[in-house]
Structure 1
């Protein structure tokens, strides 16, 4: 990997944080050769902390773009719900300007964690910039 990790998702505030950090790229060989991004969900609160590794595929980045658009329009989202591995759900509470973020791992740890973080005014612009940085750093052969 020529560049350091990229935080694709970064939700922080009031002592709580949920981060999805892209840590590198691998080529998986099998019936079909596939490029994947290695990543880790990092949750840190005064009550609970943990890390969970995950692989991301180009389709996951495309789906994240769609989820950002839906969130920006005020909708609740679930990202990677059909994927084997952790899923991320985010609900907006516009009255308190907060996000309720849930990471659910039904594949390995059978654990669900929900964290509430404030929604900063600049969060959406920052989130779209992080996604674009991920596409530029690890371009796929598929269109996005």
Structure 2
């Protein structure tokens, strides 16, 4: 896709929204924040969102820009359904995007979350997060909120 550098990122009437916000006791968190829609020179309403993935712990802090396509949202919904039955997941694995791996421990109360940037920084950061009650339901609501705020064609 050709991007018009003057157009940049399109911000809607609403502000940034967290598609994923895994955080718990101890200050460890992994967040995927949608900040807007990518505006291109050829298509003023493409089906791609832009945002960032950020990791924060008392020891490590960092973020990376990311693009989210309709298939990513569909895959995230599948990942949430798999997490609900206790399966670990790999979201956007083997794609040209930063990957998110969630390995559940102790049922749905703790997770080891790995963020792997295999294309740019070639770095992987892994954190353990004590999950709060209702985090799965919260993430289903977050997914619906992003889909309502920035409608895209589902694949």
Same fold (TM over 0.5): yes
CA distance in structure 1 between the partners assigned to 2:109 and 2:73 by the alignment: 25
Instruction: For 1:64 and 1:85, locate their aligned partners in 2 and report how far apart those are by CA, in whole Å.
Output: 14
CA apart distance, 1:15: 1.1
The SS at the match of 2:97 is: coil
Residue number in structure 2 paired with 1:124: 136
- Correspondence for 1:99: 111
Q: Which of residues 53, 65, 76 is equivalent to 2:88?
A: 76
Runs of 4+ in 1 over 6 A off after TM superposition: none
1:94 CA displacement: 1.7
Cα pair 1:92 1:99 within 8 Å, conserved: yes
Q: Where does the alignment leave 5 or more consecutive residues of structure 1 unmatched?
A: none
**Is residue 2:58 matched to residue 1:37?**
no
CA distance in 2, matches of 1:29, 1:106: 28
Q: Identify the residue that residue 53 of structure 1 maps to in structure 2.
A: 65
Tell whether 2:64 aligns with 1:64: no
Any idea what the Cα deviations from partners look like across 1:5-51, whole Å, max 9, x if unmatched?
00000011211111000011013467xx8421001001110110001
* 1:83 counterpart SS class: coil
Query: Among 23, 27, 30, which residue is 1:15 paired with?
Result: 27
**1:75-113 deviation digits (Å, cap 9, x = unpaired):** 010000132020000010026821110000010000000
Aligned length: 142
Equivalent residue, structure 1, for 2:15: 4
**Unaligned residue ranges in structure 2 (runs of 5+):** 1-11
Is structure 2 residue 154 aligned with structure 1 residue 143? yes
Q: In proportion to residue count, which structure has more strand?
A: 1
**For the aligned residues, what is the CA RMSD?**
1.9
